[in-house]
């Protein structure tokens, strides 16, 4: 997974990264955004526009947020609450719209 959105995005979701992403690979959960690892082209356009510095390459995620590396992947491969199938790689977030649910890791986090 080239880029990961970590904990600082929870309950912030500024969405500047969505506007910068040339391949539309950033999906919206209920409380956090997620980068689809199968659709991301590793361009890095999203990273500098994040006002809370939640985005980084997977190998540069701060140690305290390392669980978000796998969590971002799980958002696309697991069946999320209220859904019948995994999101997978639908080919772009804008056609799908907000997903409206999060992974268990994000859903269990207390608001800041």
- Please answer whether residues 33 and 16 qualify as being in contact, where contact means their C-beta atoms are separated by less than 8 angstroms: no
103 within a domain of the structure (yes/no): no
Q: What is the pLDDT, as a whole number, of residue 112?
A: 58
Over the stretch 8-67, which tens digit does the pLDDT of each residue have? 999 999 999 999 999 999 999 999 999 999 999 999 999 999 999 999 999 999 999 999
- Please answer whether residues 101 and 27 qualify as being in contact, where contact means their C-beta atoms are separated by less than 8 angstroms: no
Contacts of 19 by beta carbon, 8 Å cutoff, 6+ apart: 49
d(CA 95, CA 104): 24
The residue segments making up the domain with residue 17 are 3-91
d(CA 56, CA 67): 13
97 within a domain of the structure (yes/no): no
28 within a domain of the structure (yes/no): yes
SS3 25: coil
Domain count, the chain: 1
82 within a domain of the structure (yes/no): yes
Q: Is the dihedral of CA 92, 99, 45, 39 positive or negative?
A: negative
Q: What is the CATH number of the domain that holds 78?
A: 3.30.70.20
Q: What is the pLDDT, as a whole number, of residue 110?
A: 78
Whole-prediction pTM: 0.94
99 within a domain of the structure (yes/no): no
Q: Closest Cα to residue 96, out of 36, 45, 43?
A: 36
């Amino acid at each position: 997974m080239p880029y990961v959105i970590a904990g600082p995005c929870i309950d912030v979701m500024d969405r500047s990264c969505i506007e910068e992403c040339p391949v539309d690979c950033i999906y919206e959960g209920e409380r956090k955004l997620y980068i689809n690892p199968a659709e991301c082209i590793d361009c890095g356009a999203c990273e500098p526009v994040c006002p809370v510095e939640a985005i980084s390459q997977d190998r540069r995620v701060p140690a305290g947020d390392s669980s978000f590396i796998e969590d971002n992947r799980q958002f696309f491969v697991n069946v999320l609450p209220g859904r019948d199938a995994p999101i997978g790689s639908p080919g772009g977030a804008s056609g799908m719209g907000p997903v409206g649910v999060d992974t268990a890791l994000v859903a269990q986090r207390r608001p800041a």
